[in-house]
Amino acid sequence: MKRFELEAYLARGVENLMREVVRVSAKNPAESAFMLKFSSVCLRNSRKRDKFNKLDMHIPPFLICSITSECNLHCAGCYARANHSCHDNDADPSQLSANQWLDVFEQAAELCISFIILAGGEPLMRRDVIWSAARVSKILFPIFTNGTPIEDEYLELFDEHRNLFPVLSIEGDREQTDARRGKGVYDSLVSKMDMMREKGILFGASATVTKENAETVYSEEFVSDLKANGCKAVFFIEYVPADGRTDIAPDELTRLKMAERLEKLRSSHRDMVFISFPGDEKSSGGCLAAGRGFFHINANGSAEPCPFSPYSDISVRDHDLYDVMNSKLFTALREGGILSDEHSGGCVLFNKREAVEALLDDL
C-alpha cells in the first residue's frame, strides 16, 4: 500500500470542504466566507511551519486539548474513565480556567498551529472554554462531543463562529450506539444532525472502532446515511483497550480490512474527509504523538504525548507552548526511536507504556 501523508490529506480535505461549501454558498454564505479565509490561513501556516522545521524548530500542525474531566455519559470502554481522567462531578476548580485555555489557543495561533481538537470528558460541559475557542478564528476547533448538550444556544454559537466544528460520536446503528453510549443516544444524535443540517452548520462524526462494529462503521450504508444527514467528515478512532477489553480491540486482519475499506470510501466520497487513528499514522511513517504531529494537554494543563499515554514532565501553567512542545520527555520520545519504530497497528505508545514510563524515570 502506498505511503499516506496525513497532513497533506487534511490540507486537501480542507480545500475539498471549501469547494463543497462554495458550491452551496447561496444557502451557506457564512460557511463559504469562513472556509475561504481559513484555507488561506492554513496555507500560510504550513509554509511558516516548513521554515521553522528547517531551523530545527519543529511545530506540529495539531493539538489535542482535553478541556474538562467531567462527562454526563458512561460509555462502555471509555479510555478516559479507565485511566481515571473522567468523572461525573462538577468541574474540578484545579483545572485550567477559560482564560488560561484562551492563552494556550492564542499561543498556538502565533505558532501557526492550524487545528486544535477539543475533547474531554464531554467538552461541551465547558461552555466558557468553547466561547474562548470561538474567539480564536485562525484555528479550526473540531469538538469531539457525545452530542447530548447541543441545544439552541450552542447551535447559535456554531452558526456564528464557523471555526467551531462539532464532531458527534456515533458507534454504528441504533443498537450499537445505544449499547455503548446509553439508550436513546442514537436518536438524539440523528436529531442534532438534522438541526445542524437545517442551519447549514458544518459538522462531522466519529466512531470508536472495535471488532464488533468495524463492519458497520466502514460500510457504504453507514457513511451514506451520515452524508445524507449533512455530515462532512468522519473520524475512525481505533478502540484502545485501556479498560482491559482486549477481546474487542481490532486485530491485524480487521485493521487490514479497515484500511482497504477506507481507501474505497475516500475514492467514492470525495466531498467528505475521512481520518483514521492510528491507522493513518502507520501509513504516514510512525506515531505522530509527542509533538511529532500533535500532543495532548489534559484538563489540569499537563502536556502528554497523547491521550492514551498520560505521562508528563511539563505544564502549560508554568511554561509557554513552544517550550512545552520541546519538553525533555517529548524530545526523548521523538529522538529515541520509539515513535518511528515499525508500526504494526494499534496505539504505539499505549503498547509501549512501560518503555515510556522508564524513559520518564530517567529524565
pLDDT tens, position by position, 261-306 = 999 998 999 878 888 887 555 555 567 777 878 899 999 999 998 8
Q: Tell me, yes or no, whether 259 lies in a domain.
A: yes
Identify the CA nearest to 205 among candidates 221, 220, 225: 225
The grid coordinates of residue 207 equal 466512531
User: How many distinct structural domains can be found in the chain?
Assistant: 1
Residue 340: per-residue pLDDT: 63
pLDDT at 17 over 70: no
Q: Tell me, yes or no, whether 72 lies in a domain.
A: yes
The more confident residue out of 37 and 126 is 126
Q: How far apart are CA 360 and CA 305, in angstroms?
A: 11
Q: How far apart are CA 226 and CA 203, in angstroms?
A: 10
Q: Cβ(147)–Cβ(195) under 8 Å?
A: no
pLDDT at 14 over 80: no
The string of pLDDT tens digits covering residues 146-162 is 999 999 999 999 999 98
* Span of 93-102, 213-222, 327-336 with lowest mean pLDDT: 327-336
The string of pLDDT tens digits covering residues 307-316 is 888 889 999 9
Q: How far apart are CA 297 and CA 306, in angstroms?
A: 8
- Mean of the per-residue pLDDT values for the chain? 84
pLDDT at 228 over 90: yes
Farthest-apart Cα atoms in the chain, separation: 59
Identify the CA nearest to 302 among candidates 327, 268, 284, 335: 327
* Span of 3-17, 191-205, 345-359 with lowest mean pLDDT: 3-17
The string of pLDDT tens digits covering residues 74-117 is 887 776 766 666 677 666 778 999 999 999 999 999 998 988 99
Give the structural domain span for 182. Answer: 6-362
The string of pLDDT tens digits covering residues 162-203 is 899 999 999 999 999 999 999 999 999 999 999 999 988 889
* Antiparallel, parallel or unpaired: β 141-145 and 296-297: unpaired
The more confident residue out of 342 and 188 is 188
DSSP string spanning 243-301?
Answer: TS-GGGS--HHHHHHHHHHHHHHHHH-TTSEEEEETHHHHTTTS--TTTTS--EE-TTS
Considering 16-25, 40-49, 67-76, the range whose residues carry the highest mean pLDDT is 67-76
Q: How far apart are CA 50 and CA 310, in angstroms?
A: 29
The grid coordinates of residue 81 equal 474513565
Q: Which amino acid, 9?
A: Y
Is the peptide bond preceding residue 121 cis, with omega within 30 degrees of 0?
yes
Q: How far apart are CA 156 and CA 182, in angstroms?
A: 27
Q: Tell me, yes or no, whether 1 lies in a domain.
A: no
Q: How far apart are CA 131 and CA 148, in angstroms?
A: 18
Quick count: other Cβ atoms within 10 Å of Cβ 12? Answer: 13
pTM: 0.88
Residue 213: per-residue pLDDT: 95
How deeply is 316 buried, as exposed, middle or buried, from its count of CB atoms within 10 A (0-12, 13-18, 19+)?
Answer: buried
Residue 24: per-residue pLDDT: 39
* Antiparallel, parallel or unpaired: β 296-297 and 303-304: antiparallel
Output the domain CATH number for residue 244.
Answer: 3.20.20.70
Length of the chain: 363
- Which alpha helices (DSSP H) does 58-110 contain, by range? 79-82, 98-110
Q: Tell me, yes or no, whether 283 lies in a domain.
A: yes
The string of pLDDT tens digits covering residues 294-309 is 899 999 999 998 888 8
Residue 25: per-residue pLDDT: 39
pLDDT at 19 over 80: no
**How much of the chain exceeds pLDDT 90, in percent?**
47
Quick count: other Cβ atoms within 10 Å of Cβ 26? Answer: 7
The more confident residue out of 290 and 11 is 290
